[in-house]
């Protein structure tokens, strides 16, 4: 499997680190059901057999966080974009810390 990094070009998967499901919405910590929402956020996954939107980090290259859309049945990559701006503000801030 090769991932086309928007900054570095297409590279082998061993340059990248997998960072999991990118569809998850970080809950509002101040909301009423925050505890239950965080349990779901941390532990539960759709785990679909098909298109999967996921985070990868180009740890062996530019170190950018990427959002990759991949078919987990075939490893065919449909789309790659920089995570900055795509994910929620809270997550992006966490990345920058």
Binding positions for other proteins, rule: CB under 8 A: 1, 12-14, 18, 20-21, 36, 39-40, 42-50, 52, 54, 72-75
Nearer to other proteins, 63 or 73 (CB): 73
Cβ 54 to other proteins, closest distance in Å?
7
Residue 59: CB atoms within 10 A of its CB come to 15
Q: Which residues contact 17 (CB under 8 A, 6 or more apart)?
A: 56, 57, 59
- Token pair recorded at residue 44: 């539960």
Query: How would you list the strands of the sheet with 65-71, edge to edge?
Result: 17-21, 51-57, 65-71, 76-82
Nearer to other proteins, 63 or 75 (CB): 75
Cβ 56 to other proteins, closest distance in Å?
8
Nearer to other proteins, 16 or 87 (CB): 16
């Amino acid at each position: 499997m090769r991932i086309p990094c928007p900054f570095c070009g297409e590279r082998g998967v061993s340059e990248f680190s997998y960072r999991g499901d990118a569809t998850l919405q970080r809950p509002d910590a101040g909301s009423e059901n925050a505890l239950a929402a965080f349990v779901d956020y941390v532990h539960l996954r759709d785990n679909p057999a098909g298109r999967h939107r996921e985070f990868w980090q180009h740890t062996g290259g530019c170190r950018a966080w990427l959002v990759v859309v991949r078919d987990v049945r075939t490893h065919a990559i449909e789309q790659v974009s920089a995570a900055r701006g795509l994910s929620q503000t809270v997550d992006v801030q966490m990345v920058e810390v």
